[in-house]
Amino acid sequence: MKQKFKTPYYLIDERKLLKNMKKIEYARKFSGAKSVLALKCFSAFSVFGLMSKYMDGTTSSSFYEAKLGYDTFGKETHAFSVAYSKDDIDGLKKISDKIIFNSVSQLNHFYNDVKRLKIGLRINPGISYSHFDLADPARKYSRLGVFEIKEVEKVLNKIDGVMFHYNCENGDFEIFSEMLDKISAKYDKVLKKINWVSLGGGIYFTKDGYPLDKFCAKLKEFAAKHNVQVYLEPGESSITNSCELVTTVLDIVNNGKTIAIVDASIEAHMLDLLIYRLSAKLEEKTGANEYIIAGRSCLAGDVFGEYKLKRKLKAGSEIRFSDAAGYTMVKKNWFNGVKMPSIIVKRLNGKTEIIRQFSYNDYVKSLS
């Protein structure tokens, strides 16, 4: 009998997660590139026991993320931040293997504090792949990374590696390959004087149909040409299609269109979709029944999307939003005091485990 849990909840399926891990392992074996999990995308440490078998560590965007990776994932701990405080540096230098600076000014300011570590510098190559200006690291007036090669050359004696994070959901190998060739040529002198290069995240190399062998060959060629260790920072690629947000319809209303209101909120539980004005994914058979599926918060635009379903919905119907791992749990919030989804994991052996349930006390503790 199928186990029933109170909705809403995030359901992480380790068997689906393993499919991504196997592809990451394959890329590691045949390209030589190491992969560190981007915690900004996914930080559900209840499945790190599985992921750590296939990945080389974690990368972060803050001290708290770095410490979480150090404490719960192990292996390599990479630290990056757009800007560090002195407290950040004091904490990070105790736990990090690599610390990557976003600017030459911060590198120089904190160099004496971290010079025993492997130090990196983020470079902005001025090219990028992104569907959204909001997420484009090379957008006009970008603050992400150093643009001028001369500025990088001035501090080559202080750094051990560099990071180019210039992709966002790039599933096109040919475009990735062309951009990497441009970086290879433009920064050849820099690359010859360092030991490692991170190509950042946003490369969708685990998606179905991606030419993984070509990808591996390209990375291997780049590493050999410049004699560097390549790192990847997969976020979405690590966890794509491995999680669902499971909800229940609370009410059906009609205002020109039929609207199903569920016990979750896109504002609170899938915020990235609201930011980028995307619809949540449903893996259901299509049909003639048209619905707007909406959240229960007071925000007028709290809408998961419009769908044509084979089945008819009613109060009590279960709706499962797929591909709900990336940028969901890390962004969830208490807007409207809406009940926070539990976190549930389906293990490799098929057993389902409730990892975390949230209560009114959790809501109160998030406030002052």
CA torsion through residues 136, 141, 143, 148, sign: positive
List the chain domain ranges.
Answer: 15-239, 243-324+332-365
In the prediction, which pLDDT does 131 show?
A: 92
In CATH terms, is domain 243-324+332-365 a member of 2.40.37.10? yes
> For every one of its 368 residues, what pLDDT tens digit does the chain have, with 9 covering 90 and above?
467 899 999 999 999 999 999 999 999 999 999 999 999 999 999 999 999 999 999 999 999 999 999 999 999 999 999 999 999 999 999 999 999 999 999 999 999 999 999 999 999 999 999 999 999 999 999 999 999 999 999 999 999 999 999 999 999 999 999 999 999 999 999 999 999 999 999 999 999 999 999 999 999 999 999 999 999 999 999 999 999 999 999 999 999 999 999 999 999 999 999 999 999 999 999 999 999 999 999 999 999 999 999 999 999 999 999 999 999 999 999 999 999 999 999 999 999 999 999 999 999 999 99
* Helix (H) or strand (E) run with residue 258 in it: strand 258-262
What is the helix (H) or strand (E) element at residue 176, kind and residue range?
A: helix 173-186
Token pair in block for residue 131:
């569907």
162 and 104 Cβ atoms separated by less than 8 Å: no
* Domain 15-239, CATH class in plain words: alpha beta
**Do residues 6 and 342 lie in contact, with contact meaning Cβ atoms separated by under 8 Å?**
yes
Q: Supply the pTM of this predicted model.
A: 0.95
Question: Which 3 state secondary structure label does DSSP give 322?
Answer: strand
Amino acid 321: pLDDT: 98
pLDDT score, position 4: 87
Sequence-distant (≥ 6) Cβ neighbours of residue 361 within 8 angstroms:
none
Q: CA end-to-end span of the chain, whole Å?
A: 43
HSE-CB at 112 with a 13 A cutoff on CA atoms is 1
